[in-house]
Structure 1
């Protein structure tokens, strides 16, 4: 599936994988975020922390009636306010997609899959 952007010079088709990679990269830059989690449901209470090469696997891009909605599955650091981290991720992803691709994202849904306690 692709998102179509029409300009005065022609048409641009952007793959959902590209949108997911940009959104994942923007999310990882936020304070309090340890990384992206797999979109799969929890297996035996463990979530899979994805590396930087797999950022798009923690992002789901939905397109309905010309509206784009992003689902992010994240793991946060212990001791941070989860609601603030989620809000920062929503704001940063929406802003980055607007500035990079000119996309007007209708919603950014954040699903916190886990909390990571760092080693002392």
Structure 2
């Protein structure tokens, strides 16, 4: 889905921002939001990564033109957070970060929620409760 941006001409030469740079900015802006447990590669992308992993652009797809960018992110939400509020915060943070750092106009940020992450303690408790119900 990535498209190489056209060159921006200045008095001193040209400037081109690679789509991978936009993906990293969007990934970092996503994991800064409270309620995000990690990034997901999507249905075709395989295993999800929780925060703390090196590849911050995993689960991020961008389309970049000379003046505009569109972003798709696939995320895992931390259990207990309101999904629409977290997704809205992700949209706003990505838009603000990309526009501030690159000068590109972000026309679209799509947030795809692929999972809800339970903390290890909550998983153990829910498994104990499920075992008692049987």
Give the structure-1-normalised TM-score: 0.85
Query: Equivalent residue for 1:20?
Result: 23
Which residue in 1 is equivalent to 2:41? 38
Distance 1:87 1:16, change over 3 A: same
Structure with the larger strand share: 1
Rg (Cα) greater in structure? 2
Structure 1: gaps of 5 or more residues: none
Provide closer, same or farther for how the CA distance between residues 9 and 64 of structure 1 changes in structure 2, counting only shifts above 3 A. Answer: closer
Count of residue pairs brought into register by the alignment: 117
Q: 1:75, 1:113 within 8 Å by CA — same for their partners in 2?
A: yes
1:60 corresponds to 2:58: no
Counterparts of residues 1-120 of structure 1 (less than 5 Å): 1-3=3-5, 4-41=7-44, 47-49=47-49, 51-63=52-64, 67-120=68-121
Distance 1:104 1:8, change over 3 A: farther
1:27-86 per-position Cα deviation (integer Å, ceiling 9, x unaligned): 10000001111134376xxx4225532111210002468542100010000111000000
What RMSD in Å do the two structures reach over aligned CA positions?
Answer: 2.2
Ranges in structure 2 where 5+ consecutive residues have no aligned partner:
122-134
- Using the size of structure 2 for normalisation, the TM-score is 0.77
